Structure 1
Amino acid sequence: MSEITFDDPQIQQTYRAIGEKSPFVYGLTNYIAANLSANVLLAAGAGPAIGAGADWPAVFPAGAAGVWINTAAVMSNPAEVLRTVAAVASEAGTPWVLDPVAHGAGAAEYDGVVKSLVELRPAVIRGNASELISLAGGATTGKGVETTAGSDDAVEHIERLARQSGAVVAVSGATDYITDGTRTVAVPGGDARLTKVTGAGCSLGALTAGAAAVIDDAFLAAVTAHAAYARAAELAAAQVGPTGGSGSFAVALVDGLYALAN
């Protein structure tokens, strides 16, 4: 298995293409993560719209260059709205990213909603280890929205899920892993304070949609987003120092993503 970081010229080129092309990226996410998700996309150079206002779910996925669905959006929207966005994106050929928040945490009806979205052909499925292990058919280990498994534990499961779904699958953790079921790469780096920022993982799903919006290669898009996020977290850590708190770290993370794009 190879390692890829933001030092790779192709990764840098793909990430900076977001700012050069300024794609329209549409998403459904939960109200907790919406602000950071929008700021992450803006920092990278994309133009985000978030939410299910009026007929947006039936119109925006076809007009957008990339779409993401964080399934915790059911906090504010009926499940059918999420399915409409996924179906319209798939029908239009718009690459879309699925973030199956809290799948496998014991809410059977909710888990059924997530699985129905997988059937609508996401280009990328991105989540934490517990969520993806469960979605691949493994033992449910989630504790609410938090993982109780490490990303290393999820590798064989995400490879199976990629083969089952036809999507690229990415798991985040101390080391991120991205696979299309045949190729698997590791993306090291980041900072532990990412786990202390509400919506940090959700926003990575948004950034993945931003990368998928500018390149017709879901695998490279997912790797690019994860490598840029890891490097931005390292820049943030350097900016706030070892004693900097999670609040200043969150702001510095957005600053880091902006710096990498410019």
Structure 2
Amino acid sequence: MHPVTYAPRRMQHDSPDCGPALRRIRAHAPFVYGLTNYVAAALSANVLLAAGAAPAIGAAPGWPAAFGAQAGGLWVNAAGLINATEHDMLAAIDAANTAGVPWVLDPVAMGAGAADYDAIIRRMAACRPAVIRGNASEIMALAGGAATARGVETTASITQAVPSGQALARSSGAIVAISGAEDHVLSPDGRQIIIPGGHRWLTAVTGAGCALGGLIAAGLAVTPHPGERLTTVAAVHALYARAAEMAAGPAQGPASFATGFVDALAQLQARADD
């Protein structure tokens, strides 16, 4: 039997699906737990707070097992291994899986040439994440393709990465979200949503990708039906892209853009509540 072929569809911030996704986060204020690196933690927390979620970040004693089970959504940024351990991450993942908490894997710097690090990411990817979110090079490497990353930066294009992302979605059972000049969100059953927009300064702000993973986890926390997760993940990307566009207009550079980006997310949230 041949797999069903779906035509890709496009989603922007004014799609009917976007407002409800953001309103659910504000209405329910989900507790979102993250394991990320100290470089990205502040922006991730601020993004989640701007959207109305309640974040906790870090691997203090007892947190991974306790918060992994208690959270509405979990996200694990592999670069958090800078300041957490593999045991911390697997404890949080195991607790989330046992409690039925959806979780997001961000395979930062996968394929950049650190074999021991890549092996840990592969072990986490085998633990049934609901979503895998990364740039083109990371997704290609995790899918088993050629390693093309330069540190944490991608050297591959979205066009190159989509076939790998589709294969990874099928093999892992996870939704795969690839960030780039336009974002692609891919489901295990072959559906594909393309999100245009955004701004190049997102790549000049440390932690913007990690914060997106946290916001996806918040969206999953308020999406009770797994069949609706693809739309939620795409809606979060579309809102993220629109906030970047809003922030870029008055910004003088990446620093003011980062501040304006958090403000824009809060403004979009307020509009969604109207």
**What residue number does 1:247 align with?**
255
Q: Which residue, 5, 19, 29 being the options, matches 2:26? A: 19
**What residue number does 1:90 align with?**
97
- Deviation of 1:202 after TM superposition, in Å, equals 1.0
Contact 2:11–2:235 (CA<8 Å) still a contact in 1?
no
Equivalents in 1 of 2:44, 2:248: separation in Å? Answer: 19
Contact 1:99–1:202 (CA<8 Å) still a contact in 2?
yes
Equivalents in 1 of 2:99, 2:125: separation in Å? Answer: 17
Q: Which amino acid in structure 1 is aligned with residue 45 of structure 2? A: A
Contact 1:98–1:125 (CA<8 Å) still a contact in 2?
yes
Q: Which residue, 181, 196, 200 being the options, matches 1:192? A: 200
SS at match of 1:239: coil
SS at match of 2:75: strand
Equivalents in 2 of 1:173, 1:210: separation in Å? Answer: 21
**What residue number does 2:9 align with?**
2
**What residue number does 1:234 align with?**
245
Alignment RMSD? 0.8
Contact 1:28–1:52 (CA<8 Å) still a contact in 2?
yes
**What residue number does 2:176 align with?**
169
- Deviation of 1:3 after TM superposition, in Å, equals 0.7
Equivalences, count = 259
- Deviation of 1:61 after TM superposition, in Å, equals 1.1
Gaps in structure 2 of 5+ consecutive residues: 1-7
Q: Which residue, 256, 267, 270 being the options, matches 1:259? A: 267
Contact 2:51–2:269 (CA<8 Å) still a contact in 1?
yes
Equivalents in 2 of 1:229, 1:10: separation in Å? Answer: 14
- Deviation of 1:73 after TM superposition, in Å, equals 0.7
Write the mapping of 1:65-214 to structure 2, written as runs, cut at 5 A.
Answer: 65-181=72-188, 182-214=190-222
Contact 1:152–1:175 (CA<8 Å) still a contact in 2?
no
Equivalents in 2 of 1:145, 1:111: separation in Å? Answer: 13
2:52 matches 1:45: yes
- Deviation of 1:152 after TM superposition, in Å, equals 2.1
- Deviation of 1:238 after TM superposition, in Å, equals 2.1
Contact 1:103–1:142 (CA<8 Å) still a contact in 2?
yes
TM-score, length-normalised on structure 2? 0.93
Equivalents in 2 of 1:97, 1:199: separation in Å? Answer: 15
Runs of 4+ in structure 1 off by over 4 angstroms are none
Equivalents in 2 of 1:73, 1:19: separation in Å? Answer: 27
Q: Which amino acid in structure 2 is aligned with residue 191 of structure 1? A: H
Gaps in structure 1 of 5+ consecutive residues: none
Q: Which amino acid in structure 2 is aligned with residue 223 of structure 1? A: A
TM-score, length-normalised on structure 1? 0.97
SS at match of 2:111: coil
Equivalents in 2 of 1:30, 1:218: separation in Å? Answer: 26
Contact 1:26–1:68 (CA<8 Å) still a contact in 2?
yes
